[in-house]
Amino acid sequence: MRTALITVIFALFTHQVHAQTESIGPPIRFDAAHNASTIAGTWSSGSQHVQTGPGFANPIDSTFTYPATPGIGYSFSNDGFFEEALYRFTGNGTDPRCIVGVVQFQHGKYELLANGSIVLDPFAPDGRQQIQNPCAAQSNILRQFNQTTLFQSWRIFVDPQGRDKLHLFRFDGAPFPPMFRVSETPTMLPQRVLTNTTIGTTAEKRDLKERSAGAVTHPLTVAGFSAASLVSLGLLSLF
């Protein structure tokens, strides 16, 4: 009886250790086949017009400088800080005129987990998101934005042109658009909380609409094409 009890306890312990090992996963490998370099630096997708740093967002006065074309940009430092810059459009299959444009900024701390995933933990007061929707009751909305992000995995390859190419995969495994390293140095705003104000009230949204209705240089245009024409061609997607 005692021998059988010890056998059961050992089996349960072995199963628990095995489950914990599976959840932790293998350590990150830095090699030519997967991660050819560390993730530190500045990365940008597509035409590389969307990049982090002071040229994209100013959370202190809650303003954005709109890039010429949409895309995504990230910076990572060696000491655990990140910055995020996103500019994207979402099409409307029912009404091609109702294209939603979004610009988004966050910065904060990140952690590389042993199973190869990345967790981004933003500074909550500083995140900003501006949404333009010509068909909405409020066509231009600015708000604080705070979203912790989990990337299931990441890979860095060297492409045939010799450029470092970063692939990030969302929590569900869906890929982000690939990004290329534009600088080995992270381009970032100061790596600390920069604001202590709350924005996004109805009054402030109305004021933003009045102030910035004609201030955006490229509100709904991608590389010279109108957003409506891109929808009709099936080329507009979420960046």
For residue 1, being part of any structural domain is answered with no
For residue 108, being part of any structural domain is answered with yes
Determine the pLDDT at residue 149: 96
Question: How does the average pLDDT of the chain come out, rounded?
Answer: 77
Mean pLDDT for 178-193 is: 97
For residue 238, being part of any structural domain is answered with no
More confident residue, 27 or 40: 40
Domain extent, residue 143, equals 26-233
For residue 47, being part of any structural domain is answered with yes
More confident residue, 7 or 21: 7
Determine the pLDDT at residue 95: 84
Mean pLDDT for 143-155 is: 95
Mean pLDDT for 187-202 is: 83
pLDDT band at 16 (very low <50, low <70, confident <90, very high): very low
- Residue 54 dihedral angles phi and psi, to the nearest 5°: -65, -15
For residue 19, being part of any structural domain is answered with no
For residue 7, being part of any structural domain is answered with no
Provide, rounded to the nearest whole percent, the portion of the chain with pLDDT above 90.
54
- Residue 121 dihedral angles phi and psi, to the nearest 5°: -115, 95
pLDDT at position 73 over 70:
yes
Determine the pLDDT at residue 105: 98
For residue 12, being part of any structural domain is answered with no
For residue 14, being part of any structural domain is answered with no
pLDDT band at 108 (very low <50, low <70, confident <90, very high): very high
Mean pLDDT for 182-208 is: 75
pLDDT band at 236 (very low <50, low <70, confident <90, very high): very low
Determine the pLDDT at residue 34: 62
Provide, rounded to the nearest whole percent, the portion of the chain with pLDDT above 70.
69
Determine the pLDDT at residue 39: 93
Determine the pLDDT at residue 22: 35
- Domains identified in the chain, total number: 1
